[in-house]
Amino acid sequence: MTDAPTTTTEPQAAPTAAGAPLLQVTDLHTSFTSDRGTVRAVRGVSLSLQRGRTLGIVGESGSGKSVLSRSIMGLMPSNATRTGSVVYDGTEILNASPSTMRNYWGDEMAMVFQDPMTALNPVLRVERQITESLHEHLDLSKQQAKDTALALLTSVGIPEPARRLRMYPHEMSGGMRQRIMIAIALACGPKMLFADEPTTALDVTVQAQILDLLQHLQTDRQMAMILVTHDLGVVAGRAHDIAVMYAGEIVEQASAKALFASVRHPYTEALLQSIPKLEMAKHTKLEAIGGRPPDLVNLPQGCPFAQRCRYAQDRCRDEAPALLPDPDDATHLVACHFPVGTAAEQPRHEALADTQLDHAAGDDVVFEPDPEGAS
Ligand code: SF4
């Protein structure tokens, strides 16, 4: 079994999940037309999320995790097609018009984007960017909006908030800009927050601060939060539940506790093995996941992970596995014919020995811990 990351603490207990979920997604498919054909970016995703809980959605680039978030929020380009169901707070919103969705954005659901430098307007002062959102959604006087903006900057840990309000984004550090993005997202008190790779552009120390801030705000405001990341280490200790995505599908879904206690899908296992751990010796080589995700225009017939999977057998290339409950834990779902740790699991099939695994030396990542011992 693969060790769980050891870098974070458990999230605070969520309130009792009473009543209907705030978000219920059922059999959601999102595809895009392209010159090469139809790109099937999200394929049959179902999930639910209660108020006060954080769902971590984890996967490599191109796994569909960011498209899933935008599909739920209705932030879609004109060449996108969605089918299935997205019920938010009891209302079906999948086919809601853009004008209807504008009533949800900000007030009900908001997103913190990956790169604040591209999401913020470079020619507007911070105050204007926050108060614009407040004026659009709330009936506030000019002074009330300014007071609210000051309180928001304070709540996201920005020192000297009155001075910062008068600044432009380029006058601030990356961490400060991301805090501004979070303040804007929270301006109208959304019930649901999407954080899409919110710390990718930041150094490791600031990453931890921003993630801790998001966790604190989520708990304090009892928001539902979807935390999208390529790094299982980011959601360890911060998410209550985890969905692992590969090739547009959820391949493993469980509470964080259950998933880290007993990883079932080979892809999740490979993701875990690619995370640096504090106890690693200097110059330890991390295990990169060999090969590449499949082409979402021409998906293989069987399991989409088969070409990269160390446990693949003939059946895997013929028959796509369904997402099913684990026999030992009905709440732990896995899409795999031979889950990790089961008696049916077999060593990698001989026929895979010469597949296109890209284990070039340059693919390996060398982890060099901070000399001070910080992670
Ligand atoms: Fe690997 Fe087969 Fe499971 Fe796919 S179904 S993840 S190829 S063992």
| Placement of tokens 């900057």 in the chain | 153
- The encoded tokens of residue 234 equal 């980011």
For residue 362, is pLDDT > 80?
A: no
pLDDT digits (tens, 9 = 90+) for 162-177: 999 999 999 998 888 9
Task: Sketch the domain layout of the chain as residue ranges.
Answer: 12-255, 263-367
Indicate which residue's Cα is closest to atom 7 of ligand 1. Answer: 306
In which band, very low, low, confident or very high, does the pLDDT at 281 lie, cut at 50, 70 and 90? low
Given this model, what pLDDT does residue 354 score?
Answer: 36
Given this model, what pLDDT does residue 20 score?
Answer: 86
Could you tell me the distance, in angstroms and rounded to a whole number, from the CA of residue 317 to the centre of ligand 1? 9
Ligand 1 in reach of 352 Cβ (< 6 A): no
Give 208's contacts (C-beta < 8 A, 6+ positions apart): 375
The number of beta carbons lying within 10 Å of the beta carbon of residue 217 is: 19
Cβ(114)–Cβ(201) under 8 Å?
yes
Closest ligand 1 atom, CA of 316?
Answer: 2
Beta strands in 262-367 (DSSP E): 284-286, 324-326, 329-334, 365-367
Q: Residue range 260-264: average pLDDT?
A: 95
* Mean pLDDT (the chain, rounded): 84
Could you tell me the distance, in angstroms and rounded to a whole number, from the CA of residue 30 to the centre of ligand 1? 24
For residue 13, is pLDDT > 50?
A: no
For residue 3, is pLDDT > 80?
A: no
In sequence order, what DSSP letters do the residues of 176-245 get, joined into one string?
HHHHHHHHHHHTT--SEEEEESTTTTS-HHHHHHHHHHHHHHHHHHT-EEEEEES-HHHHTTT-SEEEEE
Ligand 1 in reach of 201 Cβ (< 6 A): no
Which CA distances in Å does 95 have to 91, 99, 369?
11, 11, 48
Mutate to test the pocket of ligand 1, among 250, 289, 318, 336 (most ligand atoms within 8 A of CB): 336
Cβ(11)–Cβ(30) under 8 Å?
no
Mutate to test the pocket of ligand 1, among 251, 311, 348 (most ligand atoms within 8 A of CB): 311
Closest ligand 1 atom, CA of 337?
Answer: 5
Which of 78-95 are b and which e, b meaning 16 or more Cβ less than 10 Å from the residue's Cβ? eebebebebbbbeeebbe
Half-sphere exposure of 261 (CA within 13 A, CB side): 9
Cβ(178)–Cβ(209) under 8 Å?
no
Does CATH number 3.40.50.720 belong to domain 12-255? no
Cα pseudo-dihedral 225, 229, 234, 237, rounded to 10: 40
Q: Residue range 210-219: average pLDDT?
A: 90
Straight-line distance from the first to the last Cα atom of the chain, in angstroms, rounded to the nearest whole number: 23
Cβ(333)–Cβ(254) under 8 Å?
yes
> Percent of the chain beyond pLDDT 90?
59
Mapping DSSP to helix (H, G, I), strand (E, B) and coil, where does residue 331 land?
Answer: strand
Give 328's contacts (C-beta < 8 A, 6+ positions apart): none
Report the distance separating Cα 303 and Cα 174, nearest Å: 40
More confident residue, 207 or 260: 260
Could you tell me the distance, in angstroms and rounded to a whole number, from the CA of residue 358 to the centre of ligand 1? 18
Mutate to test the pocket of ligand 1, among 289, 305, 345 (most ligand atoms within 8 A of CB): 305
